[in-house]
Amino acid sequence: MLPYIDIHTHQLQANENTFQLLNCIIGEEEFSNQICSVGIHPWYVHEDRDGQFGILKRHTADKNVLAIGECGLDKITDIAWQTQIEVFEKQILLAQELQKPLIIHCVRAYQEVFHILKEKQVTVPVIFHSFNKKLALAQSILQQGYYISLGSSILQGNQDDLIQSIDMDKVFLETDNKPTDVADIYSYFCRVRKISISDLQEQIVGNFEQVFRYNTFSG
């Protein structure tokens, strides 16, 4: 039986048939030695930036670290804008060096994030996580070859047009920090897209294996 893949969560849920990619924010969340993503979140940049980056770098040597992030830019945090850019760029370079995907946190800074990704000539897969904006912005993300991960916000019904039109090889689903069961997010997506749960599971397993170069599911 194929699993439900949750590509971004801050707390593991006791759900047998769910495969979760735990996110660990350096300095805020404990590093676990299971499959995870690690990064410096723009809300939690420490005074000692070099020290914090050193810890991140040490962790990323672990083979269970499948991605760098969440990292990115956020216009509604108090962390200085220049500091955010500096820390984001360092993480982009690290992801490029390690050839691991980037999981992006982005709040009101899409154009700036696009610009930096282009400037740095990023070639690793880029996933905009917890995407809850309009179709036009999604299209601009997809046109640049990036991925979109949808979360519990889809349950509100405002993203049905995106669900109906998104390229299926560019989509992921996640719970982030919400108590929602990822299976409910799958069900909703399937209802709107008019596909079966098993087809969606198969698609997302394929996307996951390709983007994260992980092949435990198909053996």
Binding site for Zn ion (CB under 5 A): 176
The distance of closest approach from Cβ of residue 36 to Zn ion in the complex, given in angstroms and rounded to an integer, is: 12
Question: Does the annotation list 10 as a binding residue?
Answer: no
The distance of closest approach from Cβ of residue 135 to Zn ion in the complex, given in angstroms and rounded to an integer, is: 23
The distance of closest approach from Cβ of residue 177 to Zn ion in the complex, given in angstroms and rounded to an integer, is: 6
- Contact present, 135 and 167 (Cβ < 8 Å): no
The distance of closest approach from Cβ of residue 14 to Zn ion in the complex, given in angstroms and rounded to an integer, is: 20
Question: Does the annotation list 176 as a binding residue?
Answer: yes
Question: Does the annotation list 41 as a binding residue?
Answer: no
- Our CB check for Zn ion shows the closer of 2 and 37 to be 37
CA 131 remoteness from chain centre: 9
Tell me, letter by letter, the H, E, C secondary structure of the chain.
Answer: CCCEEEEEECCCCCCCCEEEEEEEECCCCCCCCCCEEEECCCCCCCCCHHHHHHHHHHHHCCCCEEEEEEEEEECCCCCCHHHHHHHHHHHHHHHHHHCCCEEEEEECCHHHHHHHHHHCCCCCCEEECCCCCCHHHHHHHHHCCCEEEECHHHHHCCCHHHHHHCCHHHEEECCECCCCCHHHHHHHHHHHHCCCHHHHHHHHHHHHHHHHCCCCCCC
The distance of closest approach from Cβ of residue 32 to Zn ion in the complex, given in angstroms and rounded to an integer, is: 15
Q: Which residue is nearest to Zn ion (CB)?
A: 176
Of 149, 159, 111, 107, nearest in space to 128 by CA: 149
Question: Does the annotation list 105 as a binding residue?
Answer: yes
The distance of closest approach from Cβ of residue 105 to Zn ion in the complex, given in angstroms and rounded to an integer, is: 7
- CA angle in degrees (0–180, nearest 5) for 65-185-35: 10
Residue list for the binding site for a divalent metal cation: 70, 105, 129, 176
Q: Which residues line the annotated binding site?
A: 70, 105, 129, 176
